[in-house]
Each structure stands twice: as structure tokens, then as C-alpha cells.
Structure 1
Amino acid sequence: MNQPLIELSDIWMKFQNREVLTGVNLQVNPGEIVTLIGPNGAGKTTLVRIALGLQAPSSGQRTVKKGLRIGYMPQKLHINDSMPLTVNRFLRLTGCRLTAVNNALDRTGVTHVLQSPLQSLSGGELQRVLLARALLHKPHILVLDEPVQGVDITGQKALYQLITDLRNESRDQENCAVLMVSHDLHLVMASTDKVVCINQHVCCSGHPQQVKQHPAYLRLFGGESDELAIYTHHHDHHHGIDGHVLDPQKDCSKGSQ
């Protein structure tokens, strides 16, 4: 069995005596798309920062595969309107050659913006440029924090499909995995292999079709689950829901902090 790219074990996080994460376990394996969902204040961004190694937990362990390369795509990029920064220059700041920049933009479908100022891009174009930047150093895992922020519904569907395509394309090459944070429940379920629902703790996790039927998920998101677009695919194994991580009595009824 392949070694997990990132494994978080029994992660606890406190800020000024306020518990943000309590006993969270998370594992991302090569080639899979894992999506974190949960309400505002659930601890998703904090968990991602710990996964990236940008923040140490109050307790618990982070283990990463030796030599792991991470590509990170932030929620937003704030650029001063007066700054003369083209897409080409922005991506070349990573130290990559023009050939690599062009290849990354080609993979994300925006080669036409190479010489455009960043400020002139549409929301969808900017997110594709940020995704191209995350791909430049051939990562083993892409960490995407709200990747469709500021993009219209048509662009959101296209971006999620692109993320899925990139993962599928990489399976014969880098076997790249994706760890994604999203609030876009209607769309994200169609583009993920495993969903982890958190609200300070892991409420439930597993294949999207199973998670949407889990009582903890239904308590948290209510009737929204009936309208979700579910990605169905064939497996030669079965997914469990929350079996070894949490006490089955725990649920998401705990309020956000």
C-alpha cells in the first residue's frame, strides 16, 4: 500500500483557551481528491495550515512523505491596482522558466492571458492562473483553499471539472493528490473521492454518496443534501463512515466557534 502523502493524527488546536480543533484525524493518499466541508468557524482553514506545516498544532502529529512537494492555491490574491504585474512576471517570480509557465497555463486553459495584467483578469481566469502557479513545481499534492472563490456558477463547474481532469491526467505521471476546502456543496460532491465533514471535530467522512446520508451530515446541512450532484464511480472495495475515528455518538450539533 502506498504511504500517505500527509497524515494528521489526533490534532488539537486551541487559540486563547478556545478549542478550534479537537482530536482530528486526516489522511491524503496519492492520486485521491479529499474535500473538507463544514460551516464557517469549523476549523477548516486552521486544519489546512497545519497540513501545510505553516502552523503547529497544540497537540497531535503531522507526518508527511519524505521529499513531499506541495502546490498551494490560496482563497484570494490581493494585488494593488497600480502594480504593473503581468501574469508572465507573476509566475516567473517562482523561478520557473517561460516554457514551464506556458505549460502550466496550457494545462489550466489560460495561455491567452500570459501577457495580461493580473488586475485585468476575470475571476475564473485569475483562479486558473493561481492553479497554474500551484502546478509549476510538479507537486505530489495540490492544496486548494476555496478554489472557486469569486467565480460565477458556470466557472465553478468548469474549475471543479478541471481539477478532476488534472488529477486524472497526473495518475500516469505524478499521481498527484488534491486536498480541497469548499463551501460549494452542490458542486464539490461531483468532483471528489472522499469527503471529510468537520465542525471542530470530524463529524463524518467517506465516499460522497455515503456521507450525504450520514445523520451528522444531515443535521449540519439539512435538506441541501437532497440536491447535491453526486459523483458515482466503481470501486473494488467499500468505504466506511467515521468508523475508527470518532465515537458514533458524536455529531455536528456542536455550534461553530
Structure 2
Amino acid sequence: MLITKFDLYNAEWLDLVFDHRNKNYGAYELRQSYGRTMAKSMGIAFAAVAILSAAAIIFKAKPKPVYEFHEVHLKTPVDIPKPPVEAVKQPDAPAPMEHQKPAAPVETKGFTTPHLVTTEPPTEPPTIDQLKDVAIGPTDVKGPSGAGNVIDSKDPGPGGTGTAKVDDGVHTLDGLEVMPEPVGGAAAWAKFLQKNLRFPGAAQDAGVSGKVLLSFIIEKDGALSNIKVERPAGYGFDEEATRVLKLAKAWKPGVQNGQNVRVRYSIPISFQLATEE
């Protein structure tokens, strides 16, 4: 059988296939240069394989050297001299103390603490019957006896009855021995006001703040009484401050001359409208 070489990429066949066609189209140029492109690609591939093989042979890892250790014995050992040790000098022992002879005794006289001794003979205290109709004095004095010499027990005498006068007056803070204060101190009082005070609606609608000055009396038992508005602020501030003071618990009362007393006290209460930042 006759086999004819049939090369589609031959120039004659290409001209025949692309006869009466647009040879400026890319397919004609690609088929015309296919043989040269294939040969160039094969050459580059073979060259790359050859270079990689040669590099692998040249740069093959060298084996690490193996070190052997041999034991060495010295024929004559060498003695290393030790550094000399300096002798520590001991301190000299103290010389023994000479025995001192006792001093010769001197003449002395004993002195004792003197005690006072009364020369008067002791006397027995008087009995109840002996004191019944006589007055008591430092010495015995002769005179008429009788019930008139005895002081009446109802007479208070120059020392008074022994009971202090009840103080019901109203004191101020000036000169007071112990000042009145809320139970728990100023911190507890501020917490009480913050918890119970309410900003009046009229003042909130008007957008105003205010400060009310109130006075009251702290009774002997610490209760708050006679609450008065001394400096009003309006807008419902006065009524709210008075309401809260009536809710307050008893204070620690003031003390003067060792007894609880009534004290007039003044306090300002401020209402501050919160501003939006």
C-alpha cells in the first residue's frame, strides 16, 4: 500500500487550504510557524532537564566528617601546687588581773527612817445616843443641849438640794458644749435628703433651680419640731423641703451642763435642675 506523507503544516498545503481566504487571520500565521515553535520548545525543555541533572550531580550533599576520640594517658602525672594558706594571727590573751586587797573597814552609824508616834491616848468615837441632842464639831464644847442644836433635815443648807434646775429654754449653737447632729453624721443626712427630695413639677416646667432656708428646734429627745421657712424660694420648693424635714428621724440632741437641751438649728436645702449636655 502506498502511503504518502501528508503534512498539513507544509507551505504548499497551507496556501492550498487558505486559498481565497483571509491569510491575515491568526490561524494561518500559527500553522505556518508551528514547526519552528515546536522545535524551539523541545530544545528549551531538553536543555532545562540537562541543567537540573548536572546541578544535582555537582551540588550533591557531602557526607559529614566523623570524629574519633582517643584516650590519652600521661606517663608522668603533673602535681599542681596548692596556694599557701596564710596563718591567722591569734589575738594576744589578756593579762590576768591582779588580786586587789580589800579596803580597811571604816566606822559607820546606822540610820533608820523616823516614825511619828502620837503621845495622846486613843479615844473612842461618840455613840448615837451621845449625838442625839448635840451638834457635831471638831472639839468638845460645853453648852446647853437639846433638840435646837440639830439642823433640820428639810433645810437644804448652803449647798442646795443637790438636783440641777431643769433647762427648758431654747439654745443656739454658740457656746453649746455638745452640738446636735443627725444619727450617722453628715453623710447619712445627705443620703436621706437625696433619697426623699423630689424636684417640684412647677419648677421643672419653669426650668428654674432654688435654695430654701429652714429653721427648726431639736428637742431633748432629738425630734425635729417648729419647722419654719426662713427664706422661701417659691415654685413648690418650700413645701417640698418642709415635707422632707417632717419625715426625718430624731437627731442626737445637744448637751449643756450635762443634760439634753433644746437647740434651734438652721439648714439650707438646694434644688438643682439637671442640665442636658
TM-score by length of 1: 0.17
Q: Which has the higher strand share?
A: 1
TM-score by length of 2: 0.16
The structure having more radius of gyration, on CA atoms, is: 2
Greater relative contact order (Cα < 8 A, sep 6+): 1
